[in-house]
């Protein structure tokens, strides 16, 4: 903050000793120390308040963005459903299925099938990883027994 070196502090100390005298200098140093401590505490408190206000503003902005995203998602879902209903009413439910447009039940069934496939694939990959680890341990054990 201030660019005060050792010699400047020494000069201030000598002047304080001459002006205040040896009796009042320790008392003045204590008082100055208390003021500096109060000043530091005040500055820390102000910084904390500023940071809290900034966090509040950011959180409010994030909440607002989240609400906007939810509203957008809902409007997209509604428009998608209305498009499907319009197509189904124009072409008939059998014709729509023959065109290849999924109904809501079919799209949900496809999603669950995809999730099941992913789960199965992750189980297989985990099994492969454990098998590879076991074979690596066996190889290491064999190498260790050969060296002995």
Residues 82 and 113 in one domain: no
Mean pLDDT of 95-118: 63
Residues 118 and 87 in one domain: no
pLDDT tens-digit readout, 13-39 = 899 889 988 899 999 999 999 999 999
Residues 118 and 77 in one domain: no
Q: 147 lies in which domain range?
A: 104-148
The pLDDT score that the predictor gives to residue 44 is 95
**Which two structure tokens, joined as six digits, stand for 63?**
């909440």
The secondary element (H helix, E strand) that includes residue 2 is none
The mean of the pLDDT values for the chain is 80
How does DSSP assign 116-127, residue by residue?
Answer: HHHHHHHHHHHH
Residues 80 and 32 in one domain: yes
Q: Are 84 and 101 in contact (CB under 8 A)?
A: yes
Residues 67 and 11 in one domain: yes
Residues near 84 by Cβ (< 8 Å), separated by ≥ 6?
Answer: 101, 103, 104
The pLDDT score that the predictor gives to residue 58 is 83
Q: Is the pTM of this model over 0.75?
A: no
Residues 97 and 142 in one domain: no
The pLDDT score that the predictor gives to residue 96 is 45
The pLDDT score that the predictor gives to residue 57 is 81
Q: Are 132 and 139 in contact (CB under 8 A)?
A: no
Count of domains forming the chain: 2
């Amino acid at each position: 903050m201030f660019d005060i070196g050792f010699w400047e502090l020494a000069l201030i100390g000598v002047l304080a000793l001459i002006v205040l005298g040896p009796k009042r200098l320790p008392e003045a140093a204590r008082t100055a120390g208390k003021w500096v401590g109060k000043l530091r505490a005040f500055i820390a408190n102000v910084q904390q308040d500023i940071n809290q206000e900034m966090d509040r503003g950011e959180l409010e902005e994030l909440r607002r963005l989240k609400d906007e995203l939810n509203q957008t998602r809902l409007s997209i879902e509604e428009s998608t459903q209305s498009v499907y209903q319009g197509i189904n009413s124009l072409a008939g439910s059998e014709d729509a299925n023959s065109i290849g447009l999924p109904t809501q039940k079919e799209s949900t069934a496809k999603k669950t099938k995809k999730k099941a496939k992913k789960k199965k694939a992750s189980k297989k990959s985990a099994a492969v990883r454990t098998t590879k680890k076991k074979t690596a341990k066996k190889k290491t054990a064999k190498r260790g027994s050969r060296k002995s």
